[in-house]
Structure 1
């Protein structure tokens, strides 16, 4: 692949850009696209920003030219649901039976033994370096926040947020069970989240006190003007309807900030009637949904000695049909909840396309890891390609989606502020 020049002005010629992340005033550009919804364009980069987007070969060009040769140009990835504080503990604390309950126990064991600031910093920084090298430009991480761990891990997050300020947009979500917010410690946690400019969140479980727990969380968020982000229904139990309960609480409280719900696995094992009722409420409440295909394939329906019977992911296509914003994200990486991964959102997209049969929906699906994910994070200047926005791009050699998703695209070029970055990944030995 051609080398991106270090000069302040150049053109990326003969590029294919997914329509779903391309924002242009000249709508004729949309008409010049492949059957898969890839627009054929030339992109001018000047002073670190996108200066022009025109139809491919539609005008003479005097500046330096980089011929993309029909390869794809994407906006930088947006990873809206991660767990950087848990990452890369698999080697020291593996989950040998691969179950959800064992994952919970093993993470708790590891945190009690190791999670001081130096350890959390080293692993989180490693994850950020991987994400950056793969082409991510914005990340939201959930942070385990019971007791003193909240101060430790949020302190590390703030340090990393400052260190990466010119390279990555970082957001943090408090992760506790919702009953915690009914305690004085839970109220203090909400204050800490507000202090660091984070997002209030937690894990919702079906229980007799769930409505009271949700009312409290929504009240704390409203008082502090915080967005909300929940883990819900990460189970194959059809009686688990926490997503519906969150939607009902949002409507009951008249909540005006963004709400995101991750996992939502039990939707896939509920009746069509129940699903329709829930999705109507989710749509009315304006809730965005995040599917986590890597970890949910790994954990869901896992029983010793038998092959899983279902895929674990939520109803992505049905959510889209209802007009609900749905995204894909990394979730856990090399920890007891998922023993693999490399913080590569292209891998997440690839898995999501294959598992949820999104290959017939390519026109919209790339936005699930770029523009739509950015929208759920409240970001208007990332995850999309538009004139006057920073030239934060990823250039793939793959011309079609079949080419893109059939190889790992290790030769991708990651462009930040118009300049190609070093995409060398950190060595695992640094974690020893």
Structure 2
């Protein structure tokens, strides 16, 4: 985007602010959004802070954005920074979910030293920062001895990136790990690291093998979460196996334990395959309990219903519209990036939003879906100062030339301009060549379990 240098004090005139991205006090001045989803506004920035938000045409002078959409910095609440950027050295052999599990387990066992994870995490965070991401929640594979290594790297990375990207982490293991003493050990590690407790839930399926005592395992997980005061974030029903439907079991566990922490469920693919009455009852329960659902089409469209030589018959996305209409908080996130689960991506939350608009029909009307990559995930993550535009908030903004969502979705917005505290940052992306040495690394071994 071609704009003049932005002064310390300036009006940004003619901005279009997506519904769902503006905090409540500031929204009251802007009234009904144009076309139902864009508020035309002038923003005044003073010393890195949004000092005023007024209806468009108020400012007597300033930089004219010509109706370009302006976002708060994005919030990406479901990623896997520890897995990212290994696709060249350990690709998925067949593109299936089982192939991803196998490849990731082998890559982790062979290469995941602290130095390896740190290099790939740093690269991913640099990409995200350049794209305008202000907060990330990453799941961390936390099996056995790997837990201490990965969580140590994460704590260091969180400190390094403080003030640029707010980082949270979730322990990712298969839920059967909570049947062992390791579950308590892991929960203690997560608590020491100010993290979130998590797992992959399942009832059956070839991808992870059968689990027959899901309710007892969920009890163990929620007991640990309550003991340590942790929120919970789960990988749920990432399959087309209708019988492997654990979301209602999670709902029951939350109620059984009167769990007051935040609960997030990612994927929830087979919710879309349940009978209407079962889906409706499950969605109503999620709304009643305040469970957040994260939809992740980039991963699910790649993995679900993949059979060599056959076009997929279904696409594996959850019931985003029905969830939102019932009052459930729905977030959109990027998930995996350039690994065995998703060999594509660039840690660009806006790109994931554009993809989700097309895949899940987040249009006609667009409504306030803009909040699904900003305000909604920020609230679930407990980030009071990130993910919304408002008077008194830091001027952490992403400026695009797109004047409507049809323009936004049509182009990748590679010319976006990112402001942090009102100042333009360098949005040059790191070169993939920086990771070449990782692709040529010597493996240390070849075996190991994995999670999604």
TM-score bracket, normalised by the shorter chain, equals: over 0.9
Deviation of 1:271 (Å)? 0.8
Matches of residues 20-419 of structure 1 in structure 2 within 5 Å? 20-25=20-25, 29-31=29-31, 33-61=33-61, 65-206=62-203, 207-419=211-423
- Asked whether the equivalents of residues 248 and 281 of structure 1 are also in contact (C-alpha less than 8 Å), the reply is no
2:435 & 2:179 partners in 1: Cα distance?
37
- Asked whether the equivalents of residues 79 and 136 of structure 1 are also in contact (C-alpha less than 8 Å), the reply is yes
Q: In structure 1, what is the equivalent of residue 441 of structure 2?
A: none
Q: In structure 1, what is the equivalent of residue 14 of structure 2?
A: 14
- Asked whether the equivalents of residues 181 and 187 of structure 1 are also in contact (C-alpha less than 8 Å), the reply is yes
- Asked whether the equivalents of residues 330 and 372 of structure 2 are also in contact (C-alpha less than 8 Å), the reply is yes
Q: Structure 1 residues 343, 289: closer, same or farther in 2, change over 3 A?
A: same
Unaligned runs of 5+ in 1: none
1:174 & 1:70 partners in 2: Cα distance?
42
The number of aligned residues is: 429
Deviation of 1:146 (Å)? 0.6
Unaligned runs of 5+ in 2: 204-210, 437-452
Deviation of 1:77 (Å)? 0.5
Give CA-to-partner distance per residue, 1:357-401, whole Å, 9 cap, x none. Answer: 111231211100100011111112111000111111000000011
Q: Secondary structure at the match of 1:113?
A: helix
Q: Structure 1 residues 26, 288: closer, same or farther in 2, change over 3 A?
A: closer
Deviation of 1:211 (Å)? 0.6
- Asked whether the equivalents of residues 48 and 390 of structure 1 are also in contact (C-alpha less than 8 Å), the reply is yes
Deviation of 1:59 (Å)? 4.6
Give CA-to-partner distance per residue, 1:245-296, whole Å, 9 cap, x none. Answer: 1111001100001000000000111110111121122122211000101000
The answer to which of 3-12 and 22-31 deviates more is 22-31
2:298 & 2:421 partners in 1: Cα distance?
30
TM-score, normalised relative to structure 2:
0.93
Deviation of 1:37 (Å)? 1.6
- Asked whether the equivalents of residues 10 and 45 of structure 1 are also in contact (C-alpha less than 8 Å), the reply is yes
The answer to which of 367-376 and 25-34 deviates more is 25-34
The answer to which of 82-91 and 302-311 deviates more is 302-311
1:224 & 1:101 partners in 2: Cα distance?
33
1:149 & 1:332 partners in 2: Cα distance?
19
1:130 & 1:417 partners in 2: Cα distance?
19
2:269 & 2:30 partners in 1: Cα distance?
35
Deviation of 1:36 (Å)? 3.9
- Asked whether the equivalents of residues 107 and 336 of structure 1 are also in contact (C-alpha less than 8 Å), the reply is yes
Please give the root-mean-square deviation of Cα atoms over the aligned residues, in Å.
Answer: 1.2
TM-score, normalised relative to structure 1:
0.97
The answer to which of 87-96 and 28-37 deviates more is 28-37
- Asked whether the equivalents of residues 2 and 67 of structure 1 are also in contact (C-alpha less than 8 Å), the reply is no
The answer to which of 188-197 and 34-43 deviates more is 34-43
1:40 & 1:247 partners in 2: Cα distance?
40
1:395 & 1:159 partners in 2: Cα distance?
31
1:217 & 1:289 partners in 2: Cα distance?
19
- Asked whether the equivalents of residues 29 and 41 of structure 1 are also in contact (C-alpha less than 8 Å), the reply is no
Deviation of 1:25 (Å)? 3.1
- Asked whether the equivalents of residues 42 and 59 of structure 2 are also in contact (C-alpha less than 8 Å), the reply is no
Deviation of 1:58 (Å)? 2.2
Q: In structure 1, what is the equivalent of residue 206 of structure 2?
A: none
- Asked whether the equivalents of residues 26 and 390 of structure 2 are also in contact (C-alpha less than 8 Å), the reply is no
Q: Secondary structure at the match of 2:25?
A: coil
Q: Secondary structure at the match of 1:80?
A: strand
Q: Secondary structure at the match of 1:140?
A: strand
1:26 & 1:97 partners in 2: Cα distance?
50
Deviation of 1:33 (Å)? 3.1
1:285 & 1:78 partners in 2: Cα distance?
23
- Asked whether the equivalents of residues 4 and 419 of structure 1 are also in contact (C-alpha less than 8 Å), the reply is no
